[in-house]
């Protein structure tokens, strides 16, 4: 699905100083879509592949893609420990799909050598909804977002099996065989979704994250 962006007047007129620098981890996955969404929401998006680039951002998006491949690349590019350190220090982060998996404190159904970042106290099951052919769309009620239900696209998506005491559940699957499964969460400055808000043209999750970065 291709996003169809709607112009955001607030973003177009925002003063330069109000534009936080938000990185998108550019090792693998749907980087371009997040870059476009962040720019429409009044941020200054940049690609992050090096520790020096990570050190310069106010917040970071971890995109969808293949979580085990991204975790290996984090090690290869010497980013794993610096990213863990920045998360511990309170850097805002948003992960979609594979990004949610990477931000978890525990991951089920993954490789033994896969790495994760402990950004949110949660247990995530990888590929929980099934294979690529089981991808689907549905409408979700998303806590904290005005404007009615959000169309959500799930592609080989994870779900959250356990959310820690301090983790806020923002959205669950409303009906069907997966009813009640947790698909969006937030803990402090860290946000994660099972689905891909960057592909639908609905900017509300990205706007929420940009405001989280500004507040931090």
Q: Which residues contact 161 (CB under 8 A, 6 or more apart)?
A: 108, 123, 124, 125, 128, 182
14 with 42: CB under 8 angstroms? yes
Cβ-Cβ contacts under 8 Å for 81 (sequence gap 6 or more):
none
Q: Residue 35's closest CA among 67, 57, 15?
A: 57
Which region, left, alpha or beta, applies to residue 123 given φ > 0 means left and ψ of -120 to 50 means alpha? beta
Catalytic residue positions? 97, 196, 198
- In 3D, which of 151, 192, 156, 201 has the Cα closest to residue 174? 151
The answer to whether 69 touches 114, Cβ cutoff 8 Å, is no
* Pair of tokens at residue 168: 């806020």
């Amino acid at each position: 699905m291709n996003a169809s962006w709607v112009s955001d007047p607030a973003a177009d007129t925002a003063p330069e100083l109000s534009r936080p620098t938000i990185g998108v981890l550019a090792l693998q996955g749907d980087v371009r879509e997040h870059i476009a969404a962040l720019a429409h929401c009044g941020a200054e998006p940049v690609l992050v592949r090096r520790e020096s680039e990570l050190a310069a951002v106010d917040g970071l998006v971890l995109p969808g893609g293949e979580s085990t491949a991204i975790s290996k690349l984090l090690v290869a590019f010497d980013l794993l420990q610096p990213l863990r350190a920045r998360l511990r220090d309170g850097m805002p982060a948003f992960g979609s799909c594979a990004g949610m998996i990477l931000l978890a404190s525990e991951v089920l159904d993954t490789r033994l050598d896969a790495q994760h970042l402990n950004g949110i106290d949660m247990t995530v099951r990888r590929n929980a909804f099934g294979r690529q052919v089981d991808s689907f769309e549905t409408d979700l009620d998303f806590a904290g977002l005005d404007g009615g239900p959000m169309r959500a696209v799930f592609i080989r998506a994870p779900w959250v099996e356990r959310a820690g005491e301090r983790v806020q559940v923002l959205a669950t699957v409303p009906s069907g065989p997966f009813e009640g499964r947790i698909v969006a969460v937030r803990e402090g400055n860290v946000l994660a979704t099972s689905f891909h808000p960057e592909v639908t043209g609905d900017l509300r999750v990205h706007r929420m994250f940009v405001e989280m970065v500004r507040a931090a």
